[in-house]
Structures are given as C-alpha cells and as structure tokens.
Structure 1
C-alpha cells in the first residue's frame, strides 16, 4: 500500500494476538459450572444472576462492592454491573457441549456432565484459586431477589 503524502510504502501483516486467559471460552465455561455448583441453589440460576456473579468475580473491587451489598452496607442501585458478551458465548458453548441446559426459558441448570466437570475442577487446587475463595465467601447469598433489586425490577 503506498501513501503518496508520506513518500513511503506500508505493508500490513496479520499477526496472532494472544488472548488473556480470562477471556478464553474454556476458562469461562469452567467458571460457569463452578458458579452453578457452588453459588446457586439447586445448581440453577437465571442468566442475569450468572452475569452478576461473573462481573463480580472479575475484580477485587467488584467483589468488595457485592460483599457490601450483601451486608446491607451498599444500596442495590449503586452497583453498575456490566454484562459481558463473551460470557454469553461461553454459556452457549456450554449448552452445546451438554454441560448446562436451559430450563423454564431463561434459567440455566447444570447437567450431569457439567457436574462431573465441576468435580474435576474441584479436585485441582491450582484451578480458579482466587475465584474459589470468593465463591466460598459468598456461597448462595446472591439471590435472585437481590439481583432483581440491583436492576430495579422489584
């Protein structure tokens, strides 16, 4: 490609770009089954609650904000939760792989295969160490009612 104003030619080459681990679908699928197994009653959740949990786990600041909300030290409308399209894609891949399934239209439920994957991940202490600590801290305190209050639907 020649640019006459600059008096030189430019050559553009496509180069591979490394994708950070937390953006890779495999990482998110593992996180999804862990969230369903450890933070959701009956290993079932709305997609909205899963997005809130995914957003929370991403940074320590988000984790502290959610803990403050659960502890009634923060108002629900003060959180700005970001929905991540890559997480939706991971949910779709997990459905395609038979690890989770949709129930009642908008709810996601773990399957036997997803349960087995969560158990395998649980055996390896080097996988998701920080995320697991946070999951142990919140357990099932992020209820559907709490999520609805964040978005003002109640």
Structure 2
C-alpha cells in the first residue's frame, strides 16, 4: 500500500470502506497539519507540537476557535481547552514518513518543499478544507510561543502540585 498523498496534478482523498469520521482519517489530518504549519507557523522556525494540538482542536468547532482567537488577543482571556489528539501525532508521523514534514533540532515541526507544494495544491482547490483555510487565515500567526508559554504557566499554577 504505497498510496502517496500527492499525485501528479491533484490532491486526492479516497473513499474508505469503513465509516470513519473525516477528522480521524489520516489523509485529512495530514492535510490539516500541513495547512496549520503553512498558515500559523511561518518560516523554517517551525511549530511546537502543543501548538499543532491547540490549533487542530480549535478547528473542530467555531466555539473552540473563537476562544483560541480571544486568548491570542487578550492578556486576561479565558484559557482555551486543549485536547491532545493521537490523530495529530499520527498525522505528523505519516507526514514525516511521506516527506511533507520535518522535525528541526529545536523539536519544532516545519514543512519541507514537498509539504509546501502539497499545501499549494490544497490552496488551489476552493472546496478542499475551505473552513479550515478560513479559520487559519483568521488565526494566522497570532498564537505565538509566548502565548503558549503563558498557557503552560497557567496550567502549571492551577494543576501542578508543589
């Protein structure tokens, strides 16, 4: 089974025989992670794994995305919920195996040239991941490493025992 995510000219999402929700299909998750890396983690500096999880979870609902956007814009906003989805980790693993993503020495993930080409194909298709593209354009690079550190510090102060 050597089905690649990129074919000659098109982005292909094949129908599957089992009823698996779209957001747990590896082809969807790989495409989503690549879009996150392209739109919210610019440049070769990359993206922290927690950031991938935060944004991926926020893309699941308008309410979650709205909370994340408010958190990025305010010092005293409600802390957004973060769910660590194993499908995101699998998507990163598949993306690395397929040459779309690499992990830098700083531990952050970034797109390869092949990954950027894949995202350019997704961008050209207006009906492919259209809601995700819209939300990621609103979020852009507003979720900074400093905001993620702030969130981690809040978690540590609330939930960590001395």
Give the whole-Å Cα distance in 1 for the aligned partners of 2:152 and 2:26: 26
Q: Secondary structure at the residue paired with 1:18?
A: coil
Contact 1:65 1:74 in 2 (8 A): no
Structure 1 unaligned residues grouped into runs of 5+: 1-15
Residues of 2 paired with 1:97 and 1:60: CA distance? 31
- Distance in 2 of aligned mates of 1:60 and 1:32: 18
**Aligned CA-pair RMSD:** 1.8
The answer as to whether partners of 1:57 and 1:131 remain within 8 angstroms in 2 is yes
Counterpart of 1:13 in structure 2 is: none
Distance 1:85 1:136 in 2: 25
Matched, 1:100 2:101: yes
Unaligned runs of 5+ in 2: 1-16, 158-162
The equivalences for 1:69-148 within 5 A come to 69-72=71-74, 74-75=76-77, 78-148=79-149
The TM-score, its normalising length taken from structure 2, stands at 0.79
Please state which structure has a larger fraction of its residues in strand: 1
Q: TM-score, normalised by structure 1?
A: 0.83
Higher gyration radius (CA): 1
Report the count of equivalent residues. 138
Question: How far apart are the structure 2 equivalents of 1:136 and 1:17?
Answer: 32
Choose which of 61, 64, 84 in structure 1 pairs with 2:63: 61
Work out which of the residue numbers 49, 52, 72 in structure 2 matches 1:50: 52
CA deviations on 1:91-122 (whole Å, 9 max, x unpaired) are 00000000001101521110011010000000
Q: Retained in 1: the 8 A contact 2:40–2:140?
A: yes
Say which SS state the counterpart of residue 43 (structure 2) adopts: helix
* Change in 2 beyond 3 A, CA 1:134/1:74: farther
SS in 2 for 1:64: helix
Query: How far 1:71 sits from its partner (Å)?
Result: 2.1
